[in-house]
Amino acid sequence: MGLSMFYENLTRNRRNQPSFHHLCFSLVFFMNFTNGKILKLSSILQNFLVDNLSCSLDYQYMHVIVRKTIWKFSVAYPDAREPLDRWWVICRKNNFSSFPELKKTFGTADMVGRCVIFNISGGKYRLIVRVNFAGCRMWIKYILSHKQYEKLNLKEDEKCRP
């Protein structure tokens, strides 16, 4: 399956409004055949999926993608587990339609490009999430210590660029 065929299939499926899981399956299937371009292509298609899908009846609340990232970070930093789980539960039980609405719940959240930065454990850690408010989706991009976050330039990062 070539890139043009994948995009054609993705576009055709978007018109028929498939489930998000169907599109993710298509992405994984395609990535298995890209031989060496997986990381670059993966990032581009992940952003495409998060940014272009509209909210469906399947998701009346925010759909947080890649919870596995939270689990991995929690193993390395056990004190972050409870605050990250709390953040995940709050996001899953809400449907934020805009950044100001999200800011009412998470007062210290900031937005850079298409990413929202959440302070975790009183600012000890930073959770960076790409958000599609219209699509009811949040894709966890990074969870970093404060020191690691200071080294990251989100304005230039391809995961957060508009």
Q: Write the CA distances from 23 to 48, 49, 52, 57, 124, integer angstroms.
A: 11, 8, 12, 16, 35
Q: Could you tell me which residues come within 8 angstroms of residue 160 by beta carbon, excluding any fewer than 6 positions away?
A: 112, 113, 114, 115, 128, 130, 141, 154
**Fold of the domain built from segment(s) 63-151:** YaeB-like fold (3.30.2310)
For residue 38, pLDDT over 90 is answered with no
What is the widest separation between alpha-carbon atoms in the chain?
A: 47
Residues 117-150 pLDDT 10s: 999 999 999 999 999 988 889 999 999 998 999 9
pTM over cut 0.95:
no
Kind of pairing, strands 125-132 and 137-145?
Answer: antiparallel
Q: Quick one: what percent of the chain has pLDDT higher than 70? A: 64
Q: Which contiguous run of DSSP H or E holds residue 43? A: helix 38-52
User: Which is higher by pLDDT, 160 or 4?
Assistant: 160
Give residue limits of the domains in the chain: 3-52, 63-151
